[in-house]
Structure 1
């Protein structure tokens, strides 16, 4: 059962903006990465369904994370059908992310009151996602077309739309500023957050510093966007 409601997940996403998109078949490695970005300010984490028995990995990971990172909303990505979504919901996923729009996934998540973020690349898909209860739509793949102008185009007739571009988002202040300036609610960032040293080992200090820089920037950006009156 999900720990966080749909609104709680979306609130965390909008506040912290950075959503790591991650998969590793080693539970301990995944947990170490998750703890690093959590300590750097991340509060929403997407683990992806990218291998056989990923549901078993996810179940073990989320049990440990619930204890060590109680404020972290943990969801599952790369979900393409409702049956798979149901398995991960049963294992405690706080939200479901898809690379595509599938109305059966939307119906399932709405029925179970689970946050659902479908992949959309047309205005019609975005509108259909809204009708099925999607609070945030994933603009994917963001690096395959002019996603920034697409988002501007969506928000002109539908300014209430909350979006999460994923695919090619760079972990730099310059790139993040471009997305925030067009009104995204959050961004999904994948392999660009994984930093290794010269020997090929995971450089957790560098990962922490990178993510901390981004979350600190987001906090200052949000303060400028919504100053205290």
Structure 2
């Protein structure tokens, strides 16, 4: 029993370490949370972060069911998946680039200006950005194939997945809080459309990278 627990802890620490490096690296999730923080403020960014975390459960689900292996070993399916993800990122990026500069506003008016996205939409954008991220697919397939033993019960694997979902959501929520302090909010409320456009370019470049041959 103790040997099994030690095995699971080693697996967990390995997964947690790899995940920390993966989630901290720039990617679609980071870009969309930063974009929402700049464009819509703290609340929207946090809800988007929660959506990103919940999106992890999609990858957990198909990894446990073995569907991910089918996607990975069927080039056509994976290519279709990549094109859908690229189209979605391009859509988000184009919308960001098309954003217009705000009119002259006072500091008091800034917070009212940036709250223009519904909670539902913010959540769904975060959820779909992560759920349609092929990099997340490859991450889960690699981690569950290399770091996790085939003999590990699905219940333990589910526990790993739930941790990854919570840890991802918490990471981006903290990032959202850091990006939405009062001074930062006032600054990005007036000049944030430039950052918004930059993030739009980043999202489009990520979309292009997804469909470019390796």
Q: Give the structure-1-normalised TM-score.
A: 0.27
The structure in which a higher percent of residues are strand is 1
Higher relative contact order by CA 8 Å / sep ≥ 6: 1 or 2?
A: 2
The structure in which a higher percent of residues are helix is 2
Q: Give the structure-2-normalised TM-score.
A: 0.28
Q: Which has the larger radius of gyration?
A: 2
